């Protein structure tokens, strides 16, 4: 009954949640460190955003809107790209989507078939792997090198370019490592893409969440290599459930015309992204707000605390994250002996302590031997979590 392509879909982040529901039935308190949703912690959606959404509906904006997105919102985003990243992107080169998730879907659906390859970072956010497989392509992971602070390994990337490669994906700040790509490496990736006539997909959903150094937008570093940027409102605007995102084209020499037209067709076929979320987003972007600054301040403290505690636990070690809200400790499985692999560890940890993390192998081969935790809970909860992990390992 069920197609092979659907049978093949895996999403460790949600799969572990299913185990957590079973554990919760036994009465155990569950510490949800598996899903990157700040709104479920003490990062509340600013009141003004909720009013803007309610007003959009009260003011009758409850209809299908332009499939490519409400033009006023696309103009606001064009202005934002100029002020933030000094990019000149016309409103017509911006497409509004139901989250970055839909943007990834549209791009991979338009680009991948018949074993064509997409170069993605390893470890990788699972969606890139899933969609590439779903459309009969081959996700090829290039190494993010843990020993070098999870920097992309350019030699490995170069070796993996073939005549089937369609594009190179960058995700910085990165999920699951929490690390920003260094600017020099981004430039090298852009040069490599240029040499091979490839373009770059840049997942920028965490661009405003950085702790130690400012974000540098890849498109601002590229003179003529085309870059498709993916971004949205979920994380930095604290509206994960609104499902609002966008993609933009930095395409100085118009190399992406055919792809752009294909993506437009897909957008029309699904009618439109949420109308009220789009009208609310216009108000939000027009109104200054310091909620992201406050969010980053809190997260930086939680990052510092998490990094300190994890490094004190025997059998765990980790690179210090400098963006997003994840930390990706390595398990010394040989030293710990008791657990076969990261999945075994994560599931047993969950069953015994209620601490719900995601096993690293859910992020592809390079994620093996790790677990991913979010640093979203407040310090009292984080303290309990790290105590639990420490006792569990002991």
State the residues that interact with ligand PLP by CB under 6 A: 36, 99-101, 125, 171, 175, 203, 205, 232, 234, 240, 245
Is the backbone peptide bond immediately before 173 cis, with ω within 30 degrees of 0? Answer: yes
Q: For ligand PLP, which is the closer residue by CB, 35 or 333? A: 35
DSSP string, 18-65: HHHHHHHHTT---EE-SS--GGGTT-PPPHHHHHHHHHHHHTT--S--
CA-to-CA separations, 189 to 121, 161, 167, 251, 372, in angstroms, rounded: 12, 12, 11, 16, 26
Angle at the Cα of 258 from the Cα atoms of 68 and 192, rounded to 5 degrees? 110
Residue ranges of alpha helices (H) inside the chain are: 4-7, 12-25, 47-58, 71-85, 99-111, 126-134, 154-159, 183-195, 218-221, 257-269, 275-286, 291-312, 333-336, 342-353, 379-393
Closest-CB residue for ligand PLP? 99
Q: How far is the CB of 121 from ligand PLP (least distance, A)?
A: 10
Least spacing, CB of residue 125 vs ligand PLP, in Å = 4
Which of residues 141 and 203 has its CB atom nearest to ligand PLP in the complex?
Answer: 203
Close Cβ partners of 95 (under 8 Å, ≥ 6 residues apart):
68, 69, 74, 103, 106, 246, 247, 248, 263, 264, 267
User: Of the two residues 313 and 375, which places its CB atom closer to ligand PLP in the complex?
Assistant: 375
Least distance (Å) from ligand PLP to the CB of residue 253?
27
Q: Which is nearer to ligand PLP, 73 or 313 (CB)?
A: 73
Q: Directed axis angle between helix 342-353 and helix 379-393, to 10°?
A: 110
Nearest-5° Cα angle at 25, 23 to 27: 90
Sign of the CA dihedral 273, 274, 279, 280?
negative
Q: What are phi and psi of 326, to 5 degrees?
A: -125, 155
Minimum distance, C-beta of residue 228 to ligand PLP, in the bound complex (Å)? 13
On the CB side of 93, how many CA atoms lie within 13 Å of its CA? Answer: 20
Closest CB to ligand PLP among 93 and 203? Answer: 203
Task: Provide the token pair at 83.
Answer: 């002020």
Nearest distance from C-beta of residue 267 to ligand PLP, angstroms: 15
Task: Report the nearest approach of ligand PLP to the CB of residue 372 (Å).
Answer: 11
What is the rounded distance in angstroms from the CA atom of residue 294 to the CA atom of residue 299? 9
The residue among 14 and 297 lying less far from ligand PLP, judged by its C-beta, is 14
Nearest residue (CB) to ligand PLP, 36 versus 321? 36
For residues 282 and 300, give the distance between their C-alpha atoms in angstroms, rounded to a whole number: 29
Smallest distance from ligand PLP to CB 107, Å:
12
Instruction: Tell me if 316 sits within 8 A of 393, measured CB to CB.
Output: yes
How far apart are CB 26 and ligand PLP at their closest, in Å?
Answer: 28
Pick 270 or 311: Cβ nearer ligand PLP: 270
| In the complex, least distance from residue 202 CB atom to ligand PLP, rounded to whole angstroms | 11
The rounded distance, in Å, linking the Cα atoms of 104 and 275 is 20
When the beta carbons of 146 and 203 are compared against ligand PLP, the nearer one is: 203
Q: How far is the CB of 13 from ligand PLP (least distance, A)?
A: 8
Which CB, 34 or 240, lies closer to ligand PLP? 240
Distance between CA 158 and CA 154 in Å, rounded? Answer: 6
In the complex, minimum distance from the CB of residue 205 to ligand PLP, in angstroms, rounded to a whole number: 4
Nearest residue (CB) to ligand PLP, 78 versus 234: 234
């Amino acid at each position: 009954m069920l197609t092979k392509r659907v049978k093949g879909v895996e999403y460790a982040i949600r799969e572990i949640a299913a185990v957590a529901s079973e554990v919760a039935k036994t009465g155990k308190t569950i510490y949800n460190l598996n899903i990157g949703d700040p709104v479920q912690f003490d990062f509340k959606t600013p009141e003004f955003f909720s009013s803007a959404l309610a007003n959009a509906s009260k003011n009758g904006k409850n209809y299908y809107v332009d499939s490519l997105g409400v033009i006023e919102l696309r103009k606001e985003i064009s202005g934002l790209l100029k002020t933030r990243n000094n990019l000149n992107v016309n409103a017509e080169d911006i497409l509004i989507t139901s989250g970055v998730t839909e943007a990834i879907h549209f791009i991979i659906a338009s680009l991948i078939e018949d074993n064509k390859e997409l170069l993605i970072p390893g470890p990788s956010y699972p969606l890139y792997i899933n969609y590439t497989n779903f459309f009969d392509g081959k996700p090829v992971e290039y190494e993010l090198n843990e020993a070098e602070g999870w920097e992309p390994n350019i030699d490995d990337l170069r070796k993996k370019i073939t005549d089937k490669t369609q594009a190179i994906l960058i995700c910085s700040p990165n999920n699951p490592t929490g690390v920003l790509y260094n600017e020099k490496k981004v430039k090298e990736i852009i040069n490599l893409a240029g040499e091979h006539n490839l373009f770059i997909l840049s997942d920028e959903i965490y661009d405003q969440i950085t702790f130690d150094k400012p974000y540098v937008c890849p498109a601002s570093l590229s003179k003529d290599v085309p870059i498709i940027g993916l971004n949205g409102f979920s994380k930095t605007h604290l509206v994960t459930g609104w499902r609002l995102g966008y993609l933009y084209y930095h395409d100085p020499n118009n190399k992406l015309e055919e792809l752009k037209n294909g993506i437009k067709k897909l957008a029309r076929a699904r009618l439109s992204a949420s109308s009220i979320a789009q009208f609310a987003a216009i108000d939000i972007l027009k109104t200054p707000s310091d909620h992201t600054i406050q969010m980053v301040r809190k997260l930086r403290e939680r990052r510092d605390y998490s990094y300190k505690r994890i490094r004190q636990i025997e059998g765990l070690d980790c690179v210090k994250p400098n963006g997003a809200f994840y930390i990706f400790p390595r398990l010394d499985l040989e030293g710990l002996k008791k657990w076969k692999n990261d999945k075994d560890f994560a599931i047993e940890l969950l069953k015994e302590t209620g601490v719900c993390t995601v096993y690293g192998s859910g992020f592809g081969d390079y994620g093996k031997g790790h677990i991913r935790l979010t640093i979203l809970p407040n310090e009292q909860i984080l303290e309990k979590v790290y105590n639990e992990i420490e006792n569990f390992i002991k």
